[in-house]
Amino acid sequence: MSAVHLKIDGAIAHIVLDNPAKLNAFTPQMLVQLETHCATLEQSADIRGVILRAEGTRAFCAGADITAWASLSPFDFARLWVRDGHRVFDRLARLSKPTIAVIHAHAFGGGLELAASCDIRVMASCATLALPEAQLGIVPGWSGTQRLARLLPEPVLKDMALFGRRIDATRAHGLGFVAEIAEDPLSVAVAIADGVAKSSPRAVEVAKYLIHAAVGEDRSAMIEALGGGMIAASADKAEGVAAFAAKRKPEFPGT
């Protein structure tokens, strides 16, 4: 049974965590489902924006399901659990579509790392953010010490990861981690997504690539994607392909 759903509403896609009995804590199956949905969205030209949200009232996501990793050997914990989660969250972060996380309730550990993988975040005033891994004898493993270090000041991140202190919505907004605080964050996210759906999808995509290249989010791939897009539109590329098909030497026009 799927615990991560993909729902399409016109040009807007909703990725929905649906495991409220366990505070939407991630299982291996949920990671697979999220990765599958990301691949589907990447191939859909009709989708202009993505909203990531969760069911239940107690938590946006409490992180990783402890029962899923507690019995893993150190080798499997590092090779499978940490690397698989990292790969899937990177897949979400690098979607060509703009993404919005709706933090309607607490986001802890992997849940905070998940929200950080989106482009912007809208947060309810009652929600809090935390990195409680040290209290369980582990460390953040799904980009909590890496991507979050680009999104939060170092002392704040250390306050959370080392000392276990939480951040409320007001502080998260003041730090720039959250775009907006709202009593109904989903409605705000939908309004933002509806706005981006009216923009040029190619311009939005390229702007996202440029920003990612600047901040180091998969920089090498972003630079090559931008360069590839430029050359793919050239007459030289068209001549090169035509010459290859005709088994002749190309005569590049230089345009």
Give CA separation, 67 vs 26, 28, 133, 239, in Å: 10, 11, 15, 57
Active site residues: 113, 133
Instruction: Verify that 156 and 212 share a domain, yes or no.
Output: no
The residue out of 196, 214, 233 marking a domain boundary is 196
Structural domain span for residue 46: 4-196
Domain presence at residue 253: no
User: In terms of domains, do 212 and 190 share one?
Assistant: no
Q: Which residue has the tokens 């030289």?
A: 236
Q: Looking at the structure, tell me whether residues 65 and 178 fall in a common domain.
A: yes
What's the pLDDT score for residue 224?
A: 86
Condensed to tens digits (0 to 9), the pLDDT of residues 55-95 reads: 999 999 999 888 877 777 877 777 777 888 899 999 999 99
Residue 73 lies in a domain: yes
Tell me the torsion sign for CA atoms 168, 171, 175, 177.
positive
What CATH number does residue 33 fall under? 3.90.226.10
Q: Are 199 and 192 in contact (CB under 8 A)?
A: no
Beta bridge partners of 4: 17
Residues 23 and 107 in one domain: yes
Instruction: Please report whether residue 150 resides in a domain.
Output: yes
Assess whether 14 and 97 both reside in one domain.
Answer: yes
Asked if residue 252 is part of any domain, the answer here is: no
Please indicate, yes or no, if residue 147 is contained in any of the structural domains. yes
Residue 66 lies inside a defined structural domain of this protein: yes
d(CA 242, CA 103): 51
pLDDT band at 223 (very low <50, low <70, confident <90, very high): confident
pTM, 2 dp: 0.91
Examine the domain organization and report whether 185 and 210 are in the same domain: no
Element (H, E) at 136: none
**Do 62 and 13 belong to one domain?**
yes
Pair (109, 51) in one structural domain: yes
Q: Clarify whether residues 153 and 62 are in a common domain.
A: yes
pLDDT, average across residues 25-36: 94
Whether residue 225 sits in one domain with residue 160 = no
Closest by CA position to 136, among listed 109, 102, 100? 109
pLDDT at residue 122 in the model = 98
CA 231 to chain centre: 28
Mean pLDDT for the stretch of residues 21-46: 95
Number of domains in the chain: 2
Query: End of a domain among 178, 196, 214?
Result: 196
- Calculate the dihedral angle through the C-alpha atoms of 193, 199, 204, 206, rounding to the nearest 10 degrees: 160
The reply to whether 230 falls in a domain is yes
In this prediction, residue 75 carries a pLDDT of 78
Same domain, 18 and 122: yes
Q: What is the number of alpha carbons within 13 Å of residue 109 lying toward its C-beta?
A: 24
> Does residue 60 sit in the same domain as residue 159?
yes
